Amino acid sequence: MEKVYSVSQLNKYIKMIFDKDMFLNNVNIRGEITNFKAHYTGHFYFTLKDDTSTIKCVMFKSYAAGVKFKPSDGMKVVISGQVSVFERDGAYQIYCKTMTPEGLGELYLAYEQLKEKLTKEGLFSPEYKKKIPFLPNRVGVITSKTGAVVRDIINVTTRRYPNVNLLIYPAAVQGINVASTVISGIDTFNKLNNVDVIIIARGGGSFEDLFGFNDENLARKIFDSKIPIVSAVGHETDFTICDFVSDLRAPTPSAAAELVYPQYSDIIRKISMDKNRVILGIQNYITRKKEYVKRVKAAKLEKVPLDIINKNRMLIDSTIKNSSNILSLKIEKYKSRCMQSVAKLDALSPLKTLARGYSVVQSEAGKVIKSVNDVKKEDNLKLTLTDGNIDVVVK
């Protein structure tokens, strides 16, 4: 009689066959995500499908944490992992280790690498962020000259503040010319210095559509701008390098307009409140001072300040007189000392010695002769007397 196996034994055998297959142990599969579920434990459960087939997939928390984007139904991805059997249900599935958007893997990797590089260099550091002016006189907007974005910004700003002054710099917001045209706009505004803040704006789109704003040269240009820059690229869930390096990130272009221009009615209300607060403060100050004057008068202290002034006047006069006397004595004392010093110097003067009949003998080089050994015959010497010089020759 042929041997009979249990369901568990069969599933275990099939799993063993799968696990021994080198191809199934490390396979890359592309497909479209359906039935995606992010479990509260951190695991991902989903089905991958193509035109004719489906396969169940699971990505455990340790691997799911490495996925830098948010998977969703309808997204085409490339996954890598191991095909194995779940013995309990007798079903095979892919145990995923990595997941990248199909066609965007290299772009996304480049984005992450640039983000990491600029982070290490400090281009995203808060201490380098410039302050956005409270009420700019003029705002430069770098965006497409056509489309809903520029209209949204104009509508929002004019609704919030009546005296809006916008300068639009037309730029490409998709394709290979995004970075170069946006850089040109930043350069132009900085050179002319005719705006107080710059808004870089673009509507939502796919990761690939927004990739032009992940350019390294553009990031460095934004960082070097002397004018503060607000980034309003994509929707709230979209992030680009432009967002990280800008001085302020707005979730949408309309939100950027709200952040840059305050509500006019709010300004008027605040001014009115501040005005009333100042008036009330001044009134209270005057009232307190009036009460103080009344108390001083009641205490008959009106003359006290004048008495203090007169007393100090007499003290000053006395101090000046004493100082003048002391100064005169000091001058006489130092004058006497000076005369004594002059007399001493005069007594020690070489001219006094010459006047008593002495002379100074010098060589032609001007050296003073102190001994007969310092000269020889026919040397020319100079004698200095009290009333002149005599040139002599040694005989």
333 in any annotated domain: no
For residue range 143-153, list pLDDT tens digits in order: 998 878 988 89
pLDDT band at 128 (very low <50, low <70, confident <90, very high): very high
Which residue would you say has higher pLDDT here, 68 or 325? 325
pLDDT-wise least confident of 33-42, 184-193, 356-365: 356-365
Is the per-residue pLDDT at 302 higher than 60?
no
Task: Output phi, psi for 336, to 5 deg.
Answer: -65, -45
pLDDT band at 1 (very low <50, low <70, confident <90, very high): low
For residue range 155-195, list pLDDT tens digits in order: 888 888 888 889 999 999 988 899 999 999 999 999 999 99
Taking phi over 0 as left and psi of -120 to 50 as alpha, with beta for the rest, 378 belongs to left
Of 341, 382, 33, 203, residue with least CA distance to 391? 382
- CA-CA distances (angstroms) from residue 343 to 294, 338, 354? 72, 9, 18
Rounding to the nearest 10 degrees, give the CA dihedral for residues 232, 234, 237, 240: -70
330 in any annotated domain: no
- 3-state SS assignment for residue 185: helix
- CA 228/CA 131 separation, integer angstroms: 7
Of 120, 95, 105, residue with least CA distance to 68? 105
268 in any annotated domain: no
What is the residue type of 190? N
Is the per-residue pLDDT at 307 higher than 80?
no
Rounding to the nearest 10 degrees, give the CA dihedral for residues 7, 8, 10, 12: 160
| 221 shares a domain with 145 | yes
| 131 shares a domain with 252 | yes
- CA 243/CA 234 separation, integer angstroms: 10
Is the per-residue pLDDT at 275 higher than 80?
yes
Helix, strand, coil shares of the chain, percent, nearest 5, are 45, 20, 30
Is the per-residue pLDDT at 285 higher than 60?
yes
| 256 shares a domain with 112 | yes
| 167 shares a domain with 72 | no
| 135 shares a domain with 69 | no
Look at residue 229 in the predicted model and tell me its pLDDT: 96
Is the per-residue pLDDT at 305 higher than 80?
no
- CA 128/CA 220 separation, integer angstroms: 13
315 in any annotated domain: no
303 in any annotated domain: no
Is the per-residue pLDDT at 80 higher than 90?
yes
Q: Which of 262, 296, 328 marks a domain boundary?
A: 262
Of 371, 364, 372, residue with least CA distance to 389? 364
Scanning 348-375, the segments in alpha helix (DSSP H) are 350-355
Is the per-residue pLDDT at 301 higher than 60?
no
Q: What is the CATH number of the domain that holds 47?
A: 2.40.50.140
- CA 87/CA 13 separation, integer angstroms: 9
Containing H/E element for 282? helix 264-298
| 234 shares a domain with 158 | yes
In DSSP terms, which residues pair with 168 in a beta bridge? Answer: 141
pLDDT band at 103 (very low <50, low <70, confident <90, very high): low
Tokens of 291: 């009460």
Which residue would you say has higher pLDDT here, 223 or 111? 223
- Which segments of the chain are extended strands (E)? 27-38, 44-49, 54-59, 76-86, 91-101, 139-143, 166-170, 197-202, 229-233, 248-249, 360-363, 380-385, 388-393
| 185 shares a domain with 256 | yes
Tokens of 311: 């007393």
- CA-CA distances (angstroms) from residue 2 to 5, 12, 77, 242? 10, 20, 47, 71
On whether the CB atoms of residues 145 and 168 are closer than 8 A, the answer is: yes
Q: Which of 230, 262, 294 marks a domain boundary?
A: 262
Number of domains in the chain: 3
Q: What is the CATH number of the domain that holds 242?
A: 3.40.50.2300
365 in any annotated domain: yes
List the domain range (segments joined by +) for residue 225.
108-262
| 257 shares a domain with 115 | yes
| 257 shares a domain with 117 | yes
Look at residue 245 in the predicted model and tell me its pLDDT: 95
On whether the CB atoms of residues 41 and 61 are closer than 8 A, the answer is: yes
Task: Output phi, psi for 228, to 5 deg.
Answer: -60, 145
pLDDT band at 105 (very low <50, low <70, confident <90, very high): low
203 in any annotated domain: yes
| 256 shares a domain with 145 | yes
The mean pLDDT of 376-392, rounded to a whole number, is 89
- 3-state SS assignment for residue 359: coil
| 112 shares a domain with 46 | no
| 134 shares a domain with 88 | no
Containing H/E element for 19? helix 7-20
How much of the chain, in percent, has pLDDT values that exceed 90? Answer: 39
Is the per-residue pLDDT at 243 higher than 70?
yes
Q: Which of 236, 262, 288 marks a domain boundary?
A: 262
